[in-house]
Amino acid sequence: MSTTRKVLYFVVTIGVLLLLNQVFEHGVGDFQIRGYEARIVSLIGIAITLAVSLNLINGLAGQFSLGHAGFMAVGGYSATYVTVYHGQQIAGLIGSSLGEVAGAALVMPISLAVGAIAAAVAGLAVGVPSLRLKGDYLAIVTLGFGEIIRVIILNIPAVGGATGFTNTTPIANFFWIFAMAILTIVIVANIRSSTFGRALSAIREDEIAAEAMGINTTRYKVLAFVISAALAGVAGGLSGQLFANPLNPQNLNFVKSIEVIVMIVLGGIGSITGAVFGAATITILPEALRDVDRQFPGLRMVIYSLLLILLMIFRPQGLLGRKEFSVNWFRRRKAPLAPASTGGGADV
Amino acid sequence: MSDASAATAVLKVDAMTKRFGGLTAVRELSMDVPPGALYGLIGPNGAGKTTIFNLLTGVYTPTEGSIHFKGTDVAGRKPYEITKLGVARTFQNIRLFGDMTVLENVMTAHHIRSRQVLLDAVVGTPRHRHEERETRDRAMELLKIFDLDGVANEGATSLPYGNQRRLEIARALATEPSLLLLDEPAAGMNPQESIDLMKLIGWLRDEFKLTILLVEHNMKVVMGICERIQVIDYGKCIALGTPDEIQKNPAVIEAYLGGA
Ligand SMILES: Nc1ncnc2c1ncn2[C@@H]1O[C@H](COP(=O)(O)OP(=O)(O)OP(=O)(O)O)[C@@H](O)[C@H]1O
Ligand SMILES: [Mg+2]
The string of DSSP codes covering A234-294 is HHHHHHHTSTT--B-GGGGSHHHHHHHHHHHHHH-TT-HHHHHHHHHHHHHHHHHTHHHHH
Using most ligand atoms within 8 A of CB, pick from B19, B20, B55 the residue to mutate for ligand 1: B20
Quote the CA–CA distance of A232 and A142 in Å, as a whole number. 14
Give the residue, B111 or A16, on which the prediction is more confident. A16
Q: How many domains does chain A have?
A: 1
Quote the CA–CA distance of B212 and B153 in Å, as a whole number. 29
- Partners of residue B80 in chain A, C-beta under 8 Å: 211-217
Q: Does residue A49 sit within a domain?
A: yes
Quote the CA–CA distance of A257 and A285 in Å, as a whole number. 17
Provide ipTM, 2 decimals.
Answer: 0.91
| Residue A125 distance to chain B (closest CA, Å) | 21
Q: Quick one: closest CA in B to A193, which residue?
A: B121
pLDDT computed for residue A338 by the predictor: 37
Q: Does residue A265 sit within a domain?
A: no
Average pLDDT of the segment spanning B167-187: 95
User: What is the whole-number distance in angstroms between the Cα of residue B47 and the centre of ligand 1?
Assistant: 7
pLDDT computed for residue A312 by the predictor: 81
B18 alpha carbon, closest ligand: 1
pLDDT computed for residue A344 by the predictor: 34
Range of the domain at A44: 8-26+34-255
Pocket of ligand 1 (CB under 6 A): B 20, 23, 25, 43, 45-51, 92
Quote the CA–CA distance of A16 and A292 in Å, as a whole number. 36
- Partners of residue A223 in chain B, C-beta under 8 Å: 118
For the residues of B169-187, what is the DSSP string, one character each?
HHHHHTT--SEEEEESTTT
Quote the CA–CA distance of A166 and A245 in Å, as a whole number. 8
0.80 exceeded by the pTM?
A: yes
Q: Does residue A271 sit within a domain?
A: no
- Partners of residue A193 in chain B, C-beta under 8 Å: 121, 132
Strands (E), chain A: none
Q: Per DSSP, what are the bridge partners of residue A103?
A: none
User: What is the whole-number distance in angstroms between the Cα of residue B235 and the centre of ligand 1?
Assistant: 9
DSSP B154: S
Q: Measured between CB atoms, does A52 come within 8 Å of chain B?
A: no
Considering Cα of B247, then B252, then B258, then B260, what sign does the dihedral take?
negative
Q: List, for residues B89-98, the tens digit of each pLDDT value.
A: 999 999 999 9
pLDDT computed for residue B258 by the predictor: 67
Q: Does residue A346 sit within a domain?
A: no
pLDDT computed for residue A29 by the predictor: 78
Average pLDDT of the segment spanning B213-217: 93
Quote the CA–CA distance of A113 and A231 in Å, as a whole number. 10
Strands (E), chain B: 11-20, 23-33, 38-42, 64-69, 72-73, 87-89, 179-183, 211-215, 228-233, 236-241
Residue A106 burial by Cβ neighbours in a 10 Å radius (0-12, 13-18, 19+): middle
Amino acid letter, residue B31: M
Q: Measured between CB atoms, does B131 come within 8 Å of chain A?
A: yes
Quote the CA–CA distance of B163 and A342 in Å, as a whole number. 25
Q: Measured between CB atoms, does B22 come within 8 Å of chain A?
A: no
Average pLDDT of the segment spanning B10-36: 95
Report percent pLDDT > 90 for chain A. 48
User: What is the whole-number distance in angstroms between the Cα of residue A102 and the centre of ligand 2?
Assistant: 67
**Do B18 and B63 touch, CB atoms closer than 8 A?**
yes
Q: Does residue A316 sit within a domain?
A: no
* Interchain contact, B171 vs A205, CB within 8 Å: no
B76 backbone dihedrals φ, ψ, rounded to 5°: 85, -5
pLDDT computed for residue B6 by the predictor: 46
Q: Does residue A209 sit within a domain?
A: yes
pLDDT computed for residue A329 by the predictor: 60
* Interchain contact, B104 vs A223, CB within 8 Å: no
* Interchain contact, A209 vs B91, CB within 8 Å: yes
Average pLDDT of the segment spanning B94-115: 89
Q: Does residue A163 sit within a domain?
A: yes
Q: List, for residues A199-250, the tens digit of each pLDDT value.
A: 999 999 999 999 999 999 999 999 999 999 999 999 999 999 998 888 888 8
| Residue A100 distance to chain B (closest CA, Å) | 31
Quote the CA–CA distance of A237 and A230 in Å, as a whole number. 11
Q: Measured between CB atoms, does A204 come within 8 Å of chain B?
A: yes
Quote the CA–CA distance of A14 and A109 in Å, as a whole number. 14
Interface test with A, best of B54, B83, B99, B108 (most A CBs within 10 A): B108
A276 backbone dihedrals φ, ψ, rounded to 5°: -60, -45
Q: Does residue A82 sit within a domain?
A: yes
Q: Measured between CB atoms, does A191 come within 8 Å of chain B?
A: yes
| Residue A228 distance to chain B (closest CA, Å) | 13
Instruction: Spell out, as residue ranges, where chain A has pLDDT lower than 70.
Output: 1, 135, 326-348
User: What is the whole-number distance in angstroms between the Cα of residue A62 and the centre of ligand 1?
Assistant: 28
